[in-house]
Structure 1
Amino acid sequence: MPEFPSNNLVLGGLVACAVGVLGISYLLRRDRRKFTQVGVVSKLFVHPIKSCRGLEVSQAECVALGMRSDGVMDRSFLIVCPEGRFVSQRQQPSIALISPSLSEDKESVLVNAPGMPTLTVHLEDPKGPVYNIKLWRLMVEGEDCGQAASEWLSQYLGSPGYKLVRHSQRFKGKILRDDPTWGSRAKRGEQATYQDLAQVNILSVASLDSLNSKLDKPVQIRNFRPNIVVEGTPAFYEDKWKYVRIGGDAVLRTTHLCGRCRQTTVDPDTGTFIESGDPLKTLKSYRMAPSGDPDGKLYGTSPLFGTQLAVESHGSIKLGDPVFASMD
């Protein structure tokens, strides 16, 4: 008598076919996106410590939790105040002068600030106490980087009890779909570390030039803390990009435009607020969400400058890479 395949074999075959159909469907859908070159990568930044000075790098990887360069993740360290809240330049503008760099052996982050000795923080997990910290609307874990880091921050900020925490590899990231404001733009399983919203921020040189043409005193790209800076595209053209492809493999998906806040008014060279209230004041004069924008209520009183993106496909990017965008 002929032998018939077992139920398990039939089921396995059906699953394999389904996976194959889904894979082909994804590739066809991706191929239907009309990618057009919109510029080139002119600057790349990774900000190891949230709200502190960023590292300008020549290449980086787009991975599940955001941007990474030489093993250092973007915004993977966080300053926490004595009351247990995260600290940004909004409360402590002087942290703009805290400058992390990577040690020669690439095993430590070296932290410097005016008038302070160098603090060495090993990239190996410290295995210190773990805290639950509220980062805007979501809770996220942070592992204490130790007493030396606490004393360094407390001395620099002039008050005891500050801590430096990091996102350990043992932790999950914050689940972006849980965000009550922008969670609907995230896909199942997408996570981040200590970024405010999505994993990656893009800004164009032309958009900064447009803003500076309206200011009495120009500001720097560092006022806005992007990860990827694009040159060769018209001002604010990045508002229209739905998908971005860089370096062949890295594909990013725009989740929403970036609403800007008071942090943009901190001078990155002095660590003090700019008295005029610019560039935020000027941005509010011409970069508010347009009337009828369905996201207008979500942006509130924040002007829009740059785009927030999630990582769809991992890949390496470097300075000079062509940037392709799809408007669909």
Structure 2
Amino acid sequence: MGSAASSALMGLGLALPPSAPFRASWLWAAALGLAAAAALGAASWSTSGRRWRWRWRRRLQQVGTVAQIWIYPIKSCKGVPVNEAECTELGLRSGNLRDRFWLVIKEDGHMVTARQEPRLVLISITWDNDQMTLSAPDMNDLVVPRTLSSANAIRDCRIFGADIQGRDCGDEVAQWITSFLKTETFRLVQFETHMAPRKSKEIFHPSVQNYEVAYPDCSPIMMISEASLSDLNTRLEKKLKMEQFRPNIMVTGCSAFEEDTWDEILIGSVEMNKILACPRCVLTTVDPDTGIISRKEPLETLKSYRLCDPAEKHIYKSAPLFGMYFSVEKIGSLKVGDPVYLMTQ
């Protein structure tokens, strides 16, 4: 008993005096108590409740700085730049302005994005006094009701084959979007927090970590470095804006594609885990200023040097990779100018 107590205390940096063997019993109890306290102090539960996170061995290495933050309220419409935001498990928010909490659908509930209707990128959103106003070329501005009536229908929607619900925003908004796009009848729905989000296992293969989203393609957060865009622009005749790739966070102060290597990061009080690279599609070929889709660049150039490792073809297939998806492990807030830290053991 005495030697066991001594060993336990030495493990905590404390030595048992030779003249005190009679105190071995209470020292043994003290050792166990101190060890337990040390263990509990070193560990904390992640926000998502998925696992214990051991922090005491972690080191922080600054790898960049937040240069810009965007919230995209309506999927495929223009983003709203913000200086700071809360980061929830479902993505960024600023007050009641939420990232991709509104979705354009067909009458049968299937989602509509700029892949099918490129002119969606021309709809801009102003958020003022907790009120969303839509603007588009040759259209009068329209205020979207801040609070939807419980009488508004809840619609069943489909996003990439997964089921999700949304509250219909009403006939006036539907007529406005339909009049602007001029192709068929569309409606706008809003996700409400009591509704069931889409789960990651419905989006990716089961080995990807467990998280949830509302209407984003794949994850709560997408991040790209300014250097990665600069690298791509050196290979293109027509230079592109970051808005063409629709990230939530743009990082400066790092090398091109360094974000590919950030497994766990800390920004402000927010901890994020890397999920996967962002596989790019024809949406990147929609000009955000004209709403014209080319179906060529930047995809063709990206395919020349940003394809996945052959071992990952079952995930990405032939899509080029640009930007990284992250899940939110610890909710909090972040702002422009915040350092981006890589967390390592």
- What is the TM-score with the length of structure 1 in the denominator? 0.87
Question: 1:134 aligned to 120, 141, 158, which one?
Answer: 158
2:229 partner SS: helix
Correspondence for 1:261: 281
Deviation, 1:262, is 0.4
d(CA) in 1 for partners of 2:304, 2:261: 20
Matching of residue 163 in structure 1 with residue 187 in structure 2: yes
Deviation, 1:326, is 3.2
Contact 1:223 1:267 in 2 (8 A): yes
Correspondence for 1:99: 124
Unaligned runs of 5+ in 2: 1-35, 45-51
Deviation, 1:176, is 2.0
Correspondence for 1:152: 176
Contact 1:126 1:144 in 2 (8 A): no
Equivalent pairs: percent with the same residue?
35
2:231 partner SS: helix
d(CA) in 2 for partners of 1:242, 1:30: 15
d(CA) in 1 for partners of 2:337, 2:241: 20
Question: 1:43 aligned to 53, 68, 73, which one?
Answer: 68
Matching of residue 323 in structure 1 with residue 340 in structure 2: yes
- What is the TM-score with the length of structure 2 in the denominator? 0.83
d(CA) in 2 for partners of 1:182, 1:90: 23
Contact 2:42 2:56 in 1 (8 A): no
Contact 1:125 1:168 in 2 (8 A): no
AA partner of residue 142 (structure 1): G
Question: 2:104 aligned to 59, 76, 79, which one?
Answer: 79
Matching of residue 55 in structure 1 with residue 80 in structure 2: yes
1:212-241 deviations in Å (ceiling 9; x for gaps):
000011111011000000000000000001
Correspondence for 2:114: 89
Q: Which moved more, 1:48-57 or 1:20-29?
A: 20-29
Contact 2:42 2:55 in 1 (8 A): no
d(CA) in 1 for partners of 2:173, 2:163: 23
Contact 2:69 2:250 in 1 (8 A): yes
Deviation, 1:168, is 1.3
How has the CA–CA distance of structure 1 residues 312 and 117 changed in structure 2, closer, same or farther, with 3 Å as cutoff? same
1:1-328 to structure 2, matched below 5 A, reads 24-26=42-44, 29-103=54-128, 105-106=129-130, 108-127=131-150, 128-179=152-203, 181-187=204-210, 190-247=211-268, 249-274=269-294, 277-291=296-310, 293=311, 295-326=312-343
How has the CA–CA distance of structure 1 residues 322 and 175 changed in structure 2, closer, same or farther, with 3 Å as cutoff? same
Contact 1:211 1:283 in 2 (8 A): yes
Contact 1:43 1:319 in 2 (8 A): yes
How has the CA–CA distance of structure 1 residues 209 and 327 changed in structure 2, closer, same or farther, with 3 Å as cutoff? farther
AA partner of residue 159 (structure 2): L
AA partner of residue 271 (structure 2): V
d(CA) in 1 for partners of 2:222, 2:248: 5
AA partner of residue 135 (structure 1): I
Deviation, 1:23, is 7.5
How has the CA–CA distance of structure 1 residues 126 and 210 changed in structure 2, closer, same or farther, with 3 Å as cutoff? farther
Contact 1:126 1:143 in 2 (8 A): no
Unaligned runs of 5+ in 1: 1-17
Deviation, 1:56, is 0.8
1:158-214 deviations in Å (ceiling 9; x for gaps):
1452100010132132222333x2443222xx3211011111000000000000000
d(CA) in 1 for partners of 2:244, 2:205: 24
1:121-178 deviations in Å (ceiling 9; x for gaps):
1232443111121111421111100010111011111145210001013213222233
1:184 partner SS: coil
Deviation, 1:273, is 1.2
How has the CA–CA distance of structure 1 residues 183 and 96 changed in structure 2, closer, same or farther, with 3 Å as cutoff? farther
Deviation, 1:65, is 0.9
- Specify the structure having the higher radius of gyration (Cα): 2
d(CA) in 1 for partners of 2:171, 2:53: 53
Correspondence for 2:27: none
Aligned residues: 303
d(CA) in 1 for partners of 2:291, 2:344: 38
